[in-house]
Structure 1
């Protein structure tokens, strides 16, 4: 287990959690592409009992995922940063913490990928693109 903390982009919502670093994964589903405005999203799963919101109160909305399950998406109502996701009923015991909001994210590498069939056709070639350390 690893202790982490994080926040939204503006800092209004902060949290702490205990996570298993082996549970970091990439999702390529169309919902995650739309939600992040990118090719995929990275999330680490945590038990609800191991997640504490330490400041602020995120807003949420409900959406059905590509798998048909109801998902609650939590975000900062000031800056819009996606923070968490969870489900209803039995699915509410596990929360997904958005990788980009985690302060220790550099120590967390994805261990798996899901919804790979929806992956952007260029994802596997990203290392072949010209790269610059700054803009």
Structure 2
């Protein structure tokens, strides 16, 4: 397990997280597209206890995912960069936004899988093994 440092856009909130795999999971769900303003988000699963806020704090926004269960989005209260999400359907696992990790390592992560392929934009090519939806 490797420890990575993350920082929001404005620098008000910083954190460390331990990750098992050095790879991105692309999420194409419509919620991620709306929250990020992009065609997908870069993510990795982690244990809830392996993410520590080291500077600042987070605010939480909750919506209901495709499973009907709550998804708690933790973000910087100043610039609104989304740091991690806790999809309650996943139990103690969280979804860390790997695009916010600092240093060259995260920039070089390969794409291991894509989720919510059903919501992928028509012009996007498939990069990795794609799952139609996400965790149920």
TM-score, length-scaled by structure 1: 0.84
TM-score, length-scaled by structure 2: 0.83
Alpha-carbon distance between aligned partners in 1 of 2:85 and 2:23, rounded to the nearest angstrom: 14
SS of 1:10's partner is coil
Higher helix share: 1
Q: Which runs of 5+ in 2 are unaligned?
A: 127-136
Alpha-carbon distance between aligned partners in 2 of 1:5 and 1:22, rounded to the nearest angstrom: 14
Alpha-carbon distance between aligned partners in 1 of 2:6 and 2:42, rounded to the nearest angstrom: 14
Shift of 1:24: 2.7
Higher radius of gyration, 1 or 2 = 1
Per the alignment, residue 94 of structure 2 pairs with 95
**How many aligned residue pairs are there?**
125
Q: Which runs of 5+ in 1 are unaligned?
A: 126-135
Aligned-residue Cα RMSD (Å) equals 2.0
Shift of 1:34: 0.8
Shift of 1:67: 3.0
Alpha-carbon spacing, 1:77–1:46, altered in 2? closer, same or farther (3 Å): same
